[in-house]
């Protein structure tokens, strides 16, 4: 490991929502690509930008499959069943029959809090898994507090979540940037990548950013 590699840092912003299956697939692949690059001595810093698939949605919670069928018809349920089968290839275990439809505003506040404590990546992964695998209600305050504790994120005292107004400002900023579909991967010096990109495509983008950083 060279001294130059130790100094190289790649920065990435990821726009996602933790109830979006394409975000889950894309982030899972990005995380693996980032770990491969980190193993070479390159630092990868990740910032998560919030996006709500259903802005203003309530957090009462309802069975996701019922909501999807009622809103989009039975073809939507068939489509996600196929996605769940395909996700196995990425090591993901998706259980839509357990999933709870909910708004994600408070989940995004928790991610911002975790980021301030250096645990954003762990928090995002846990929220995805809570929703898609465990069938937990990630719009529920008690559930979010339990997940935060599991990851080691403090939620009281100095660990207070950012004000709702600050999160709303970030959500509005993402929209003003013209982002209407997720996930989006914004990696230093590389054209934006949209959708659940392959691990190889994400690794190539990270490598390109690292190469540019070394020669800058």
Give the chain's domains with CATH numbers: 8-215 (3.40.30.10)
Residue 82: the pLDDT is 81
Q: Please name which of 101, 169, 91 lies closest in space to residue 125, comparing C-alpha atoms.
A: 91
Q: pLDDT-based confidence at 216, cuts 50/70/90?
A: low
**Is the model's pLDDT at 1 over the cut of 50?**
no
Model confidence pLDDT, tens digit, residues 94-152? 999 999 999 999 999 999 999 999 999 999 999 999 999 999 999 999 999 999 999 99
pTM value is: 0.92
Q: Please name which of 51, 33, 12 lies closest in space to residue 173, comparing C-alpha atoms.
A: 51
Cβ-in-10-Å burial (0-12, 13-18, 19+) of 104 comes to buried
Strands 9-16 and 184-187: antiparallel
Q: pLDDT-based confidence at 62, cuts 50/70/90?
A: confident
* φ and ψ at residue 8, rounded to 5 degrees: -75, 130
Starting at the edge strand that comes first in sequence, how are the strands of the sheet with 43-50 ordered? 43-50, 9-16, 184-187, 193-194
């Amino acid at each position: 490991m060279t001294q130059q590699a130790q100094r190289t840092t790649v920065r990435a912003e990821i726009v996602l929502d933790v109830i979006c299956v394409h975000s889950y697939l894309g982030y899972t692949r990005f995380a693996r690509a980032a770990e491969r690059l980190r193993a070479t001595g390159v630092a990868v810093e990740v910032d998560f930008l919030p996006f709500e698939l259903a802005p203003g949605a309530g957090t009462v919670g309802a069975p996701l499959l019922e909501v999807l069928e009622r809103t989009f018809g039975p073809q939507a349920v068939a489509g996600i069943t196929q996605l769940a089968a395909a996700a196995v290839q990425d090591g993901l275990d998706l259980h839509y029959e357990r999933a709870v439809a909910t708004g994600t505003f408070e989940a995004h506040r928790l991610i911002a809090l975790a980021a301030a404590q250096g645990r954003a990546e762990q928090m995002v992964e846990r929220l995805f898994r809570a929703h898609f695998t465990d069938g937990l209600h990630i719009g529920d305050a008690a559930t979010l507090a339990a997940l935060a504790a599991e990851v080691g994120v403090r939620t009281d005292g100095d660990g207070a979540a950012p004000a709702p107004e600050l999160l709303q400002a970030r959500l509005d900023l993402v929209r003003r940037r013209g982002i209407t579909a997720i996930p989006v991967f914004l990696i230093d010096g590389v054209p934006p990548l949209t959708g659940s990109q392959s691990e190889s495509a994400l690794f190539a983008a990270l490598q390109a950013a690292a190469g540019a950083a070394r020669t800058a």
